[in-house]
Structure 1
Amino acid sequence: MTDQLDHVSGATLDEIISRKLIDLFIRVGLIGFLVVYCYYIFRPFIGLMLWSVILAVAMYPLHAIIARRLGGQEGRAATVLVLGIMLSVLVPATLLIFSFADSTHDLIRQVKSGGLQVPAPDPAVAAWPLVGGKLHALWNTAHTDLGALVTKYEPKLGIITKQLLGYAASAGTGVLMFLVALVLAGIWMAYGAAGHGVALAIAGRMAGPERGPALVSLSTSTIRAVAQGVIGIACVQALLLGAGFILVGVPGAGILAMLVLLFGIMQVPALLVSLPTIIYVFYTNDSTSVAVMFAVYTVAAGSVDNILKPFVLGRGVDAPMPVILLGALGGMATGGIIGLFLGSVMLALGFQLFMAWVYRERDARAGLETVAK
């Protein structure tokens, strides 16, 4: 009799455990299905939403200043800020993008038609070490018979042409995404206090109530440091140099400005682009005074990052250059022009969060030692 009761009791316990496991698997399956389905629905907008959040976090201090001037009206302050950025930044950037597309189209047309005239090489080029002879021969061939040179390198030029046209289309798409992201960023800033509360709640759920605020603070400072100190300064530098290229009439001014922007984000000196343009202007411009003024302006505009970056990055997190470089290159390879910005910010943010986790115990011990003293 006792054995039968034990058998019944054991069977009942097994059934209860089985039912609980089945319920658990069903719940986990349903939650997993919901998460995956929501991801596939939201996937086309992930880049746009990330971009808008980055813009909102980066611009929020300026939004707070405007809101105080307007008597605490968050919505009106966000509207004023978004419209001001569209007028002061977006218009020159749009002109630069159109110049880039026009320069690409004109360059391709001139190369195909043979109307592109390459100036004669300087004899001193042949005396350059290692590459002087080959460079002078190639330059001289381009000067005397550009058509033969184009025919020789036609397959490679075709690949480059497709890439340039792809970058031009990506740049136009990036401008449109920036417009939409800027409007969304204005909405996020208008509800900044509520959004900050949600961020604190999520971070507290992920890292605990004690480390949650520190996680939010670190993420905010990293985004602002990279967005303002790296991407923002690179955009200013590209706009200044691009305006100088257009005014002097440098061929492919839009392409050169986009190269300056790319190099600026990758922390590569703009001198790699500005120095050849200075040499070109000195060789082709009839007015020496114009060439000298262009050289002075180009050197000053190319050095703006050395002046502004210490002020901006000094107040935030100085992300290492290789991290910014890898993020920019990887983001551009996967997401085009818009990925160039997102990649650098997101990889820098991930790096800072990872390093904060690595050194968390050390910082905690240092804090305890400081309190003890």
Structure 2
Amino acid sequence: MSPKSSSDQQLSGNLLDVLIRAGLIAVLTIYCYLVFRPFLELILWSLILAVMLYPLQRRLAARLGHHEGRTASLIVGVGLLILMVPTYLLGISLVDSAQQVMETVRSDSLRIPPPSESVADWPLIGEPLYTAWQQIASDLSGTIQKFRPQIRELLLGLLGRIAGIGAGFLLFIAALIIAGIIMAFGELGHRSAHRIAARIVGPERSEPFVKLCTATIRTVAQGVLGIAFIQMLLVGVGFVFMEVPGAGLLALAVLVLGIIQVPATLITVPVIIYVFSSEGASLATIVFAVYSVLAGLVDNVLKPLLLGRGVDVPMPVVLIGALGGMVASGILGLFIGPIILAVGYRLFWQWVDNQPAEVEVDKPDGGQSRSG
């Protein structure tokens, strides 16, 4: 056997060994992912909460004698107490709103006023809109019967969404508890993050890598999601105590508008007008109106305090992350999507900005040289 043939056989054997090892690693990776997949969103949400709350953990631990476990338990307990009552009220209102809609449709008590003649004069859509509106207003029961399958699917989808919100809330509670466990071992987690980053991007760039990811998570979580959640609770509690119809759904709309950076006054102002038109001017309605206006504008006070920290993330990135996350993972994706996309966005641009700064320059004699 010639030396060349022996070398080729050895190379083929080495290549076969590499392919077998790579295949086994791929199978193991895929199987680990399938096992871990049901817990992926829970762990992601737990890590996000842990990163967001860890500065508070360190400040409190310094005052409580550096008892990390007790401090984390205190933060989790207080957080659950703060969130439980208003979230429970909004959840009950959300379920009641859906039940009222279904009961109204079933009892055939829904009435729609006829359209104004001026609607027919609207450009492009005026005539067909006026015809359809007039038909629905004159024969609502017939219209409902005609579209009963579609209405049934819509109501079932609405109930499914409400169930998803409830499941998301339970998942959030579990994530908060797990985040407390992660914070109790915060120093160990910090060192582990540096070791992983050093393996991915190299030891000399691990520190900026970890800082960038941490700052991005805290910026989006505190400055966008946190403000939207606080605003939803403030506005929603006012709607619930005023017994506004559909208070839970309206509060959820405030949350979505807050995340996509649309003013909550689009919800609060029509609700205030409705309350005054239905109940008249009284001390209760005036107090409600003032409270709702202030709650709808609270983001203008909180944004300079929270959104200005850390790094800049363009609002279109947050918007795409929120909408895409909600489509992919429901109500929980509404929170996780913007954070994951923002981290990916910042890491991408850091990778782009760290490329070697070499530019080709034309020489006078027609040649080329490189300059850094």
Q: TM-score range by the shorter chain?
A: 0.7 to 0.9
Instruction: Tell me which amino acid in the other structure corresponds to 2:50.
Output: A
CA contact (8 A) 1:245 1:253 kept: yes
Distance 1:22 1:311 in 2: 59
CA RMSD of aligned residues (A): 2.8
Q: How do residues 303-342 of structure 1 correspond to structure 2 at under 5 angstroms?
A: 303-342=297-336
Is 1:67 the counterpart of 2:92 in the alignment?
A: no
Q: Does 1:195 align with 2:189?
A: yes
CA–CA separation in structure 1 for the residues paired with 2:145 and 2:267: 27
Determine if contact 2:89/2:237 at 8 Å carries over to the other structure: no
Q: Which runs of 5+ in 2 are unaligned?
A: 359-372
Whether 1:296 aligns to 2:290 is yes
Q: Deviations over 1:87-130 (max 9, x none)?
A: 01233223212221221112211232134567x69989979976
Aligned residue among 245, 249, 254 for 1:260: 254
Corresponding residue for 2:12? 18
Contact 2:220-2:342 at 8 Å conserved across structures = yes
> What's the counterpart of residue 160 of structure 2?
166
Task: Report the TM-score when normalising by structure 2.
Answer: 0.87
CA displacement at 1:138 relative to structure 2: 8.1
In structure 1, distance between residues paired with 2:31 and 2:281? 65
Between Structure 1 and Structure 2, the one with more helix by share is 1
Give the CA deviation at 1:60.
0.7
Structure 2 match to 1:279:
273
Q: Could you tell which deviates more after superposition, 122-131 or 205-214?
A: 122-131
Whether the 8 Å CA contact 2:114–2:138 is kept in 1: the answer is: no
Task: Output the CA distance in 2 between the equivalents of 1:288 and 1:102.
Answer: 26
Give the share of equivalent positions with the same residue, in percent: 47
1-side partners of 2:63 and 2:347: how far apart?
Answer: 35
| Residue aligning to 2:237 | 243
TM-score (normalised: structure 1): 0.87
Following superposition, the deviation at residue 219 of structure 1 comes to 0.5
Map 1:66-215 onto structure 2 (within 5 A).
66-116=60-110, 147=141, 150-151=144-145, 154-215=148-209
Q: State whether residues 121 and 136 of structure 1, in contact with CA within 8 Å, keep that contact through their aligned partners in structure 2.
A: no
Letter of the structure 1 residue corresponding to residue 297 of structure 2: S
SS in 2 for 1:337: coil
- Structure 2: distance between partners of 1:141 and 1:275: 30
C-alpha distance 14-67 of structure 1, shift in aligned 2 (>3 A): same
Contact 1:125 1:133 (8 Å CA) reproduced: no
Match of residue 370 from structure 1? none
CA distance in 2, matches of 1:299, 1:38: 50
- Classify 1:25/1:132 alpha carbon distance in 2 versus 1 (closer, same or farther; 3 Å): closer
Deviates more, 1:200-209 or 1:125-134: 125-134
Give the CA deviation at 1:170: 0.5
**How far off is 1:294 after superposition?**
2.1
Q: CA deviation at 1:64?
A: 1.1
Q: 1:272 to 1:151 in 2, by over 3 A?
A: farther
Cα deviation for residue 152 of structure 1 reads 5.8
Q: Give the SS at the match of 1:25.
A: helix
Aligned residue-pair number: 357
Q: 2:129 & 2:301 partners in 1: Cα distance?
A: 36
Distance 1:358 1:105, change over 3 A: same
Tell me, yes or no, if structure 1 residue 351 matches structure 2 residue 345: yes
Report how far residue 49 of structure 1 moved: 0.7
Query: Aligned partners of 1:361 and 1:289: how far apart in 2?
Result: 64
User: Structure 2 counterpart of 1:74, which letter?
Assistant: E
User: How far does residue 205 in structure 1 lie from its aligned partner after superposition?
Assistant: 1.0
Per the TM alignment, residue 26 of structure 1 is displaced from its structure 2 partner at its CA by 1.8
Q: Deviations over 1:28-69 (max 9, x none)?
A: 111111111111111111111111000100111111112112
User: Do the aligned partners of 2:46 and 2:175 also contact (CA within 8 Å) in 1?
Assistant: yes
Residue aligning to 1:50 = 44
- Matched position secondary structure for 2:203: coil
TM-superposed deviation, 1:299 = 1.4
The AA in structure 2 aligned to 1:342 is: I
SS for the counterpart of 1:78 is: helix
